[in-house]
Chains A and B, each alone.
Chain A
């Protein structure tokens, strides 16, 4: 299914990559073609971030990188050297839940739960961007995160509840 790639000059050219993931410094040695997503999942044991397409088409792999939501499957880990990454495992202190996590449970904003880490990280990033005010705008700016189970209305309900709370605080 793949087109043949030109042979990399060497398969062993691993490079040191330093990341701070959920507050913990990680020193990795990675080939330049390892995505940030695989660096987290396969090389750091952080499997909370999901792979739904590996092509930037589904949003399942969304993490927060230096304060912004990014698709970790489209980012090469080496290009994020020195970055601070927050994944679903780190959005709330251990033993606690982020208000969005609580709202997702309350509103039944997932079924299989596979899109959920991406939806939550994306929503946190979106709220920080501060561009979406209305429900229609939230829906638009969350549209990069697919949900095949069709939890869409519950997901938006959960986000709106938290967004309104933070506006009124």
Chain B
């Protein structure tokens, strides 16, 4: 028999790949249910005020239109804020669709048409006669900065710590330093825009029972939300979501199509599909616009002496959405004097929402651009400046890192990229009529773990099934969890089935923040270990006494057998064990919780070093990222194939943030103006060139049992500053507003 090859670290192709390339993977809006009704949402066309009258009669008169729901005729619902809160709710009062006549933001859902066909529902939605009373509003962060205030504290603060306390005397140290840089940054609103439209198919099963296919990053999150608001029993609400057409944070909170679809299904006692159109995808959470100011200084040896970072973010009038924007610089650079500030401005918009590397990608652009300018001013190579200020401990909290191979990232990335060929003088490198620039930046993202549960079942055929409520938003969760379980039991991946995306299965938190592998993976590993123990205890009692005198530590699990590690002839197959168990499958579950006491002693983060080459057309200003290398230290990489794709995706998101995407807001109207994919630009194939990913070896025995840190966000954080720094090297221009368009360089 061939020796068992550990499944951890293998580039296994996505196990759902076959379903995805044949069109058989079903997303939330892909379920044909008999008698399905179609809902189409009506949105507010004003930004703030009240609905005075809402006449739906023209629509209702159409044959085939079943109902038009508005605040006037909606069923009565839960009363308390807490009943509307979800796992990602910031402090405040969650938005309640169709609550009353009040308009809180432009595009707010104010009604739902339900009809026999999609076309009819959409047409009927145009026949509304609505009168509003408009009120004055503010949606412009920059003009309202004077109203900035400290954020409220709540549950969300646990995962999103406030800035660390000031250290030393920033003003004094900054003023005394020979090299000083101050800069101001502005980032506009962005929308997640997963390619899949938000959809919910609520299947009405009768007797207060619902099966809901929802676009979500948390099946149990949606289940709780529905049960609480509509007063249903938990066990009567089943949310299923195995395939999610991208999310990037947008589905961390239940969105209004879920609410409306369920409301209509319960009231009409029919199954209802509500799909948002692309325009409506701009009417819920978004990355908030943020203003930042940095002041960094260094002495003549390039030692950073003082750091000040202020961020002012947007939030809504009803919730205090916060991000970690300003905590990062001091985690990377051990200055003796620091001042970190984070404030919010309330505006007449929907609450912002976590979007890939929330806060981190915003803050790191400001930090790493300022560091680049500091290097330029101090006439030190930017990579050298970072190495000079390298720290093994997190000085912001005065504790060691659980592991930190950032230095290796710098070195391997620089080597692969050819950083030594950079000329530090702006506008000094060219290729024909193109200016060429090299830029680099650091990336950092925290490595968290949350509690989760997993169930394992070993059946008579010797196959293992693992159950978890977790989703797979395209990150590779199914494949990676299968690998972890297979490895634990010494099975090939073919003999393991990971069943997921179903609220009926054991608890998993929302999928985000790069914590899914560490969270659900730890539970899978734990239940796998428990399964080994259980199988061995059954095997020990079997007739024949194969394992007499042996302990669990003396045996190995490989290829569906348990055997004495030093004597393979003493072995029992999984099938034999199940037979000895009266042919009953072995079933058990395990709850895994992070060891808070141990973790508290360490800072835990993934790191990256990013190197970028840009070409800028000297006459036209057109910018092209011609190549980029990202070297990542993110602990153990379970599947280098899917992990690489995560990093590549993050890098492309970085290109998008730096050069393409923005939601354009008209503050006179209080509304977004480019609510479609032809004007909300993301990179197309022709925009993407050579991208390279290096995973640096990193051993971490602290973060969790697996030693994983997650790779969902670390790919994006360093990319925007590396690009803007490369643009500076190419053109001598430092543009601190994203995205950078060619006209800003002319």
Contact = CB atoms under 8 A, between A and B. Distances in A.
A165 to B, nearest CB: 17
Which of B123, B652, B685 has most chain A Cβ within 10 Å? B685
Nearest to A118: B195
B14 A49 contact: no
A119 to B, nearest CB: 9
A45 interface: yes
Q: Is the interface of A mostly helix, strand, loop or mixed?
A: loop
A58 B680 CA distance: 11
Given A116-B20, A155-B685, A51 B678 contact: no
Interface string B16-27: 111111111111
Interface in A7-53: 8, 11, 31, 33-34, 38, 41-42, 45-53
Interface string B639-661: 00110111011111100000000
A144 B43 CA distance: 29
Which of B64, B473, B688 has most chain A Cβ within 10 Å? B688
Given A89-B23, A111-B474, A114-B246, A104 B278 contact: no
A78 interface: no
B236 interface: no
A43 to B, nearest CB: 9
B676 A57 contact: yes
B684 A120 contact: no
Given A33-B119, A105-B13, A149-B246, A156 B685 contact: yes
B482 interface: no
B14 A1 contact: no
B195 A150 contact: no
Nearest to A159: B685
B278 A52 contact: yes
A112 B631 CA distance: 24
A44 B650 CA distance: 37
A33 B683 CA distance: 32
Contacts of A2: 122, 125-126
Contacts of B243: 112-113
A161 to B, nearest CB: 14
A84 interface: no
B64 A11 contact: yes
A92 to B, nearest CB: 8
B193 interface: yes
A48 B195 contact: no
Given A1-B280, A4-B126, A114-B27, A38 B119 contact: yes
Nearest to B20: A113
A135 to B, nearest CB: 10
Interface string B43-81: 101000000000000000011100000000000000000
Interface string A102-135: 0011101011111111001000000000000000
A71 to B, nearest CB: 12
A70 to B, nearest CB: 17
Contacts of B246: 111-112, 114, 148-149
A143 B648 contact: no
A64 interface: no
Nearest to A106: B13
B107 interface: yes
Contacts of B125: 2
A115 B652 CA distance: 16
A150 B25 CA distance: 19
Contacts of B23: 46-49, 87-89, 117
A112 B122 contact: no
A153 interface: yes
Contact of B648 (A101, A104, A139, A154): A154
B32 A114 contact: no
Interface residues of B, number: 74
Contacts of B120: 11
B269 interface: no
A140 interface: yes
A38 to B, nearest CB: 6
A63 to B, nearest CB: 10
B686 A139 contact: yes
Contacts of B727: none
B686 A34 contact: no
B195 A148 contact: yes
Which of B17, B279, B475, B476 has most chain A Cβ within 10 Å? B17
B686 A143 contact: yes
A120 B21 contact: yes
Which of A3, A8, A88, A150 has most chain B Cβ within 10 Å? A150
B245 interface: yes
B59 to A, nearest CB: 11
Contacts of B473: 112
A30 to B, nearest CB: 9
A97 B21 CA distance: 9
A116 B652 CA distance: 17
A142 interface: yes
Nearest to B17: A105
Contacts of A31: 117, 119
Nearest to B30: A47
A41 B36 CA distance: 13
A54 B277 contact: yes
Which of A2, A92, A145 has most chain B Cβ within 10 Å? A2
Given A48-B23, A113-B474, A155-B685, A55 B648 contact: no
Contacts of B25: 113
Contact of A111 (B118, B645, B685): B645
B586 interface: no
A74 interface: no
Interface of A: 1-5, 8, 11, 31, 33-34, 38, 41-42, 45-55, 57-58, 60, 87-89, 92, 97, 101, 104-106, 108, 110-117, 120, 136, 138-140, 142-156
5 contacts: A47-B32, A50-B27, A52-B196, A114-B196, A146-B682
Interface of B: 13-14, 16-27, 29-30, 32, 42-43, 45, 62-64, 107, 117-120, 122-123, 125-127, 193-197, 243-248, 275, 277-280, 473-476, 641-642, 644-646, 648-653, 676-678, 682-686, 688, 691
Given A112-B246, A113-B25, 16 more contacts: A1-B43, A3-B126, A5-B126, A31-B119, A34-B119, A47-B30, A48-B23, A55-B678, A57-B278, A89-B22, A112-B473, A114-B196, A144-B684, A150-B648, A150-B650, A150-B652
Leading 8 A-B pairs by shortest Cβ distance:
A48-B23, A114-B245, A112-B474, A150-B652, A113-B20, A150-B649, A111-B474, A88-B23
